[in-house]
Amino acid sequence: MKKVFIKFIFIEGLIMTAAVALLCIAAFSYGDRKIDPVILNDHVQTIKEHWNDGAFGETKLADTKILILDAEGDVRYRTDDALFGDIHTELDAISRNMICISVTDEGKYLGTVVMPDPSYEEYESVCLRILFITAAIVIVILLSFVSFLLYVNRNVVRPFNRMKEFAASVAGGNLDEPLMMERNNMFGLFTESFDLMREELNASRNREIALKVKEKELVATLSHDLKTPVTGIKVICELLEVKVEDTYVKGKIENIRHKTEEMNVLLNDLLSTALDDLGELNVNCSEVTSDVVGKIVEEHDTKKKVISGVIPGCILCIDQNRFSQVIGNIIGNSYKYADTEIDIVYRYRDSFLEMTISDHGEGVDEEEIPLLTGKFYRGKKQKSDKEGSGLGLYISSEIMKKMKGELILSCEAGFTVTLLLPLA
Give the pLDDT confidence of 208-230 residue by residue, as tens digits: 878 777 777 667 666 656 766 87
Identify whether residues 409 and 310 lie together within a single domain: yes
Which of 64, 82, 116 marks a domain boundary?
116
pLDDT at 277 > cutoff 80: no
Structural domain includes residue 14? no
- 142 located within any domain: no
* Residue 106 backbone class (left: φ over 0; alpha: ψ -120 to 50; beta: rest): left
pLDDT at 189: 60
**Residues 415 and 307 both lie in one domain:** yes
Pairing of strands 342-349, 306-308: parallel
For residue 383, pLDDT beyond 80: no
Q: What is the pLDDT of residue 90?
A: 81
Residue 141 lies in a domain: no
Do 286 and 403 fall within a single domain? yes
With respect to residue 58, please indicate whether it lies within any of the assigned structural domains: yes
Q: What are the residues whose beta carbons fall under 8 Å from the beta carbon of 383, sequence distance 6 or more?
A: 337
- Judge whether residue 384 has pLDDT over 50: no
Note whether residue 151 is domain-resident: no
Q: Report yes or no on 212 lying in a domain.
A: yes
Same domain, 97 and 216: no
Residue 375 domain-assigned (yes or no): yes
Number of domains, the chain:
3
Domain boundary among the residues 116, 136, 159 is at 116
Residues 414 and 287 in one domain: yes
Over residues 149-183, the pLDDT tens digits come to 887 777 777 777 777 777 777 777 777 777 666 65
Does one domain contain both 394 and 365?
Answer: yes
What's the pTM?
A: 0.44
Residues 349 and 399 in one domain: yes
Asked if residue 363 and residue 319 are part of one domain, the reply reads yes
> pLDDT digits over 62-120, tens only?
778 888 888 887 888 888 777 787 887 888 888 888 888 888 887 788 888 888 877 77
Q: Name the β-bridge partners of 345.
A: 356
CATH code, 362: 3.30.565.10
Query: Residue 16 — pLDDT band, cuts 50, 70, 90?
Result: confident
pLDDT > 90? residue 130: no
Of the residues 116, 145, 178, which one is the last residue of a structural domain?
116
Our CA dihedral for 224, 226, 227, 231, rounded to 10 degrees, sits at: 160
Q: Are residues 380 and 295 in the same domain?
A: yes
Whether residue 342 sits in one domain with residue 256: no
Could you tell me if 295 and 417 lie in one domain? Answer: yes
Q: Which of 213-222, 298-307, 327-336 shows the lowest mean pLDDT across its residues?
A: 213-222
| 119-153 residues labelled b (16+ CB within 10 A) or e (exposed) | eeeebeebeebbeebeeebeeeeeeeeeebeeebe
| Domain limits for position 91 | 37-116
